[in-house]
Structure 1
Amino acid sequence: MIVISTAAALIGGVIVALLLVGATFALFVGLRAAAAAGSAVRANRRFEALFAAAPAIPVLAYGDGRIELTRTVADWLGLKELPGRIDELASVLPADVLGALKNDILAAHRAARGFTRAVTVPGSSRTLMWRGERAPHEIGIGAVIIWVFDATDSQREIEQLSAQQGDMRGAFEALTGLIEAAPLPMWYRGADLKLAMVNSAYVAAVEGANAADVVGRGVELVEGSGHGGPLAGAVEAREQGKPHERLLPATIGGERRSLKLFDIPLPTGGVAGYAIDIEDLEQAHARERRFAEAQRTMLDRLSAGVAQFGRDRALVFCNQPFRRMFAMRNEWLADRPEFDRVLERMREANRVPEVRDFPSWKAERRDWFTEAVSAFEENWMLPDSTHLRVLAQPLPDGGLLLIFEDRTEQVQLASARDTLLRVRTATFDNLFEALGVFAADGKLQLWNNRFRAVWELEEEFLSSHPRVDVVSEQVASKLAHPARAKIINELVRAATMERQTRGGRFELADGRHFEFGVVPLPDGNALFTMLDITDSRRIEQALRERNEALENTDRVKTAFVANMSYELRTPLTSISGFAEMLHGGYAGKLTKQADAYVEA
């Protein structure tokens, strides 16, 4: 039997433990190295995929003639095997191209000077762009990195653009010739809005020697400065990004002319412009306007109604008698209504004869525009017994002139008066305010339903046109203070006799409140108005009561806080004093825990 001492067993256990720890550490280091190697492999594969998908492929060249390139570049060059030296490219590149490429590589290697060179592979339409520069030391000492990418499409686009440039140059020369031959002054301003080009018409208008002289001296076609100056239109056009036109005077050939200037902003930042002489056109328009104004002034003085329609059958003019005759509002006429709409508005106003088939009747009147007859004349008997003589005269420009002569003036005036009274009565009766009109002698002339309802007066009483003092006696019982009824007499007298405007407030016996006023009218009468303000008074009273309640609540709160502050301060003072005495040892020495409580 073998006996192992305790010390030997302990030493053996320590050795086994050390071996176990060493094996564990070695396993950990091996696993971490394996993970790092796997990450490096994945990163390497990722970079290889990125290089394969990149539009530019790197090539490394050295000063001693060595070269490293990928299979993709070799395929672009038409090489079956990867070359190891740059001289091996002589089989696919011309000698002059290869020599220039070797010089570029040598200059980049020695002087760190980058280069760019386009290389066309013989026998192929492919164009390769080589861009090289000295490579960082991490890539290789003395190496030059060259990025090669296929520029075939770019080269083709350059050729297309060159062809387009030639076409545009030809078009520009043709446009320049057209501008030069144009009879209108034309010009071009650069981005600084200074003249950069003018045509022959511009030079002739400003009496310049030639285009270069005019541009050099900056001679403008029109005079002025600031907002009305020659640059104002160009500035406005460029700021708004759209053509701008304006009318300005100019002196051309010693004569004052009116020019319509057009400024067109260009994408380049400049502004092109041209001018049209409209002096003759303006003079013709002025003569036409003066003639038309004289004609319309004369037509306005006629007692007959006149309406003129243009070739588009829209109303272009009507005089005041026409507006009054057919009750046409100015705001409605300002929209230039068409002939059919005017007839329809006349029908709505009962100012056309009563017919069974109005659409057919309207179509017959529409034929007045196209008939070759010199004039049409007919009589209209309106529903209100008004007799109108209608004269329709076709105009040379395709328009139509209508003249309406009222032969029943007295009947029309009476009808207008009755209509006015009905409108006034309807307006009075539908107002929310209570209204009453008192004559200069104090009698009640007009009133509305609201006036009768507020004072609860009988219609028979009001129809007798009572005096103001009788009305005040009748309504005194309806007031909360009957004695205040006399104020109605005083206010009406002040408005009719002294022409003064006054007002005040009434409180009725049923609790309603009214605001009243008496206004003198131009005809010597007085207008008495009453407005119900009961709701506003109630709201005002409710707000006033709420404000008082808030003030009372604030006073109670203030008193409560003051009392609570006093009640809390007294016991807290006593507690603080006893705590200081205990801490000072007046009650004997305290334990550490008790002393901590006292300090707290």
Structure 2
Amino acid sequence: MEVSPTLLALIGLLLAVWTGAAVWLMLRATTRAQAAEAHRKAALRLARMVEEGPAIPLTVRTDGRIEAPDRLARWLGLERVPEYLSELAREDGTGLSDEQIEELSTLVRRTQRTAKPFKLSLRPPGSGKMLAMRGALADPAVSPSGAALIWVFDFTETEDELARLEEEAARARDDFGALVGLIEAAPMPMWFRGADMHLRLVNRAYVEAVGGESADQVVTEQVELVERVGGRTAAEVAQQAADRRQPIERIVSATIKDARRTIRVTDLPLVGEGIAGYAVDIEEMEEQAREFRAFREAQRSMLDQLSIGVAQFDARRRMTFANQPFHRTFSLPPGVVNERTSFEQMLMVARENGRIPEVRDFPAWRGELVEWFQRDDPEEMAWPLPDGTHLRVIAQPLPDGGLVMIAEDRTEQLALSATRDTLLRTRTATFDSLFEALAVFAPDGHLELWNRGFPKAWGLDGEVLDNHPQAEELLEAIAGQLADPKAIAQIGQTIRSATLDRKNREGRIELADGRTLDYAGVPLPDGNGLLTVLDVTASQQAEEALRERNRALEEADAVMTRFLANMSYEFRTPLTTIGGFAEMLESGLAGELSPQAAEYVAAITQSVGKLTEQVENVLDLSQSEAGLMPLRKQRVELLPLLTRIVRKREQAILDGGLTLDLKGNANKVVDADQQQLQRALGQLLDNAINNTPQGGKIVIDVAKQRGLNRIAINDTGRGMSQHELARALEGIRMSADGKGIERRHGLGIPLARQLVEAHGGTLDIQSRRNAGTSAVITLP
């Protein structure tokens, strides 16, 4: 069967149309599927956005049914969203309360009837969230049956923030009120300027300072507290502070309450507000500063007068002051204070001058000294310097972080202390080595010091004194050692007189063991009293023996006096009788004598004369030594007296072939016993004649020296040695056993000395072997 071309064309056209339609349907279906997918994704996205949004939609239908996401159930503390609005309240306390459900239902019904929106805030009891509900009639596209759409917001954080802000606002209002009250009650003037630099607010102190009537009057008239200074007004200075955005502080003078005062004015810019200002009255501070400066200058002037070195350092360890002794102590140059030398540099300079101790690690040692500035308590150190100087250094930290350094030269004090210790030890050793018992009592009566002999003298145990007892306790212990215990009051009175009355007092007391003690109280310069005790038992016994011997000597002296008186008569009478009979025989009364008998008589006469002279010498010497020599003084001219003495010995001088030279002033006169002085001079002249060989020379010189009469007899004789001269001066002395008389050289020189001394003069004899003898008599 053949198919026509037309049919084929129609079939092809039909197939083409069908294919096109199939393709169009496929394309349309694909487009719708894509659109549906897009709508689905959009719906999911919108649902997710709603889910993640800050608000949750709640739809309430007219029959009470509700629709809401599960997130609302979690906000309400429920497991799931219930079906009806009334079911939002649960018996277990979750969800909303009955009152909240009732209020919400009422608002929803009103909105459904009147389409009036509502707002409601509530806090579910079973949840800690604060919910805000905004309700309105739902759009018909959402719910065409007149349902209510409620948006539920969680504004818990917002509510807390609002509460906090309200609290802060309330606090700010209170603080502002308190600040305003504080500013108003402030004792210092305070003010506020606007952006135009005009006064807007002043406090009561400002009004009183400028003498205004009220704050409004002062602000209205723009009364300034500070006058124009340096060509700038107070407003211009405030503008400058605003331009710089920095506070400006200055010290000016202003009239406050009709008195000129010094004030510190501060202009403080407030960002975006204006300029605040306040003035502090520093007149008293300035006065104190002036007084402090004057005090500091006076203090430093006083410190310059001290012998102790003082230096001050500030908080940055710079030297601000050092007196002259400090400069001398550490050998510092004059400009250290003006140059603000640091503490470390000062130590370095002192080290270079050898005025600090020698240390092994100087930097570490200096670091330790720098720590003085951080300490709270003063530090004291002893610095022995290389030259032997000992310094006492005190570092006193100051409250402001500075330091006061004091250096005292203790070298002399240490030397004095060592000397004092030596003296104390010497005193103790001296006390202990004395025979006397010593004790020192303080003014309050306690025993301070004693030597080893003190307890021994009183018969006490040394342990009794170890605790330095009071005088009363010591006297009680001593009373038991006395023969008469009541006599202890005398010792107490002696101690009291030495310590309190400052008077010397002494006494004697008997002990029970038979000893006798002499005691004396002596006030000491330091206010103490010294009690000295001496055992005089032996001396008292010796004194008694001496008294007995003295009585014996007095009796012997009386016997000797009677003996001398008797001997004077007994010796002279026989000699006078013998001499008288010899003269009678020589004159021929008994008849003519043969030549030999005449020679015998002449010899007898001569011997009688010599014996009479010797007897006179012995008696005179004995009387002189016994103090019984009678003197009958009168005015005697020395030169005529010496002339008569020389004339009487003229023959002996000629026979000895001697030369005699007598010289002196004829007006020399003394008060003396002429006979006794003549005998003394005759004895010395006889000694010179007898000891001068032929051809020798004798010189007698009478002179006046230093108001005294001087008679010198010099010869060129044989002289005497010192031993011989001593024996010649001794003359006759008692034997060693006191029972006889020893004859030494002769009676002439001793008798002459006794006679001269009886006249109140002196006899000085100088002699040398083969060089002659010089006898010098000095008479007043």
**Is the TM value for this pair above 0.5?**
no
- Give the alignment's TM-score, normalised by structure 1: 0.45
Higher relative contact order (CA 8 A, sep 6+): 1
- Give the alignment's TM-score, normalised by structure 2: 0.36
